[in-house]
C-alpha cells in the first residue's frame, strides 16, 4: 500500500500527516510507503514549517529532513491513495487528475475519522501553536481510523 498526503504548500499539514502515519505504522511493524506533496509550487525544496517540526518533535517524531515538492501526474498512478486535507485541495487534485479512472484514489484524509463532523484539516499557516496541535490531533485520529478501516496484516 502506498499513500500520498497532499495539502497546499507541503510544509504544514501533509508533512505532519506523513510523520504521524509513518510513526504509527512503524510501531505496528507494518510496511507502508508514505510521501507528501503540495498542490502549489510555493515552497518547493523547503523543509517543513518550523512550527510543524516543533509540534512533532514534542511527540518524538522527527520530520526535519523532509523537503517540499509539488504533486506530479505520475503520483496519481504510483500511489494507491491520495489523501487531501481540505476542499480546495480536493478540487485542485481532482481537476489535475490525468485520467478519469484515477479520481477514485483521491479522498479527504478525515473521511477516516470516527466522528467527522467537519471533514477537513484546517490550514494552520496563519495560526499558532494551538492550530498546529489541532492538526496533529486530527492526523492521529484519522490515522487510527485509516488503520482500522484497512485491516492490515503484520509483515
Whether 139 is a known active-site residue: answer: no
CA dihedral angle for residue 113, residue 70, residue 56, residue 24, rounded to 10 degrees = 50
By three-state DSSP, how is residue 6 classified?
A: strand
Helices 13-27 + 50-57 axis angle, to 10? 20
Q: Which of 34, 7, 6 is nearest to 19 (CA)?
A: 34
Q: How many helices (H) and strands (E) does the chain have?
A: 5, 4
Site for ligand 4NP in 29-88 (CB under 6 A): 42
Residue 125 binds to ligand 4NP (criterion: CB under 6 A): yes
Nearer to ligand 4NP, 42 or 78 (CB): 42
Q: Quick check: 36 and 149 in contact, CB under 8 A?
A: no
Catalytic residue chosen out of the listed positions 12, 13, 22, 55: 13
CB of 40 to ligand 4NP, least distance (A): 7
Residue 11 binds to ligand 4NP (criterion: CB under 6 A): yes
Catalytic residue chosen out of the listed positions 49, 92, 123, 139: 123
CB of 36 to ligand 4NP, least distance (A): 9
| Cell matching residue 123 | 490550514
Nearer to ligand 4NP, 125 or 152 (CB): 125
The residue from 3, 4, 5, 9 that contacts ligand 4NP (CB under 6 A) is: 9
Rg (CA), the chain: 14
Whether 13 is a known active-site residue: answer: yes
The residue from 3, 7, 37, 93 that contacts ligand 4NP (CB under 6 A) is: 7
Nearest 5°: CA angle at 75, between 117 and 113? 15
Binding-site ranges for ligand 4NP (CB under 6 A): 7-13, 42, 123, 125
Amino acid at each position: 500500500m502506498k499513500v500520498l498526503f497532499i495539502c497546499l504548500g507541503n510544509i504544514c499539514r501533509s508533512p505532519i500527516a506523513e510523520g504521524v502515519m509513518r510513526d504509527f505504522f512503524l510501531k505496528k511493524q507494518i510496511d507502508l510507503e508514505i510521501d507528501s506533496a503540495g498542490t502549489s509550487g510555493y515552497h518547493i525544496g523547503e523543509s517543513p514549517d518550523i512550527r510543524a517540526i516543533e509540534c512533532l518533535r514534542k511527540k518524538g517524531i522527527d520530520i526535519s529532513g523532509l523537503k517540499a515538492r509539488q504533486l506530479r501526474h505520475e503520483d496519481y498512478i504510483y500511489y494507491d491513495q491520495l489523501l487531501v486535507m481540505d476542499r480546495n485541495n480536493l478540487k485542485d487534485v481532482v481537476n489535475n487528475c490525468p485520467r478519469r479512472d484515477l479520481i477514485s484514489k483521491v479522498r479527504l484524509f478525515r473521511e477516516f475519522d470516527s466522528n467527522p463532523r467537519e471533514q477537513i484539516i484546517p490550514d494552520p499557516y496563519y495560526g499558532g501553536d494551538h492550530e498546529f496541535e489541532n492538526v496533529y490531533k486530527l492526523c492521529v485520529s484519522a490515522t487510527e481510523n485509516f488503520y482500522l478501516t484497512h485491516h492490515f496484516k503484520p509483515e
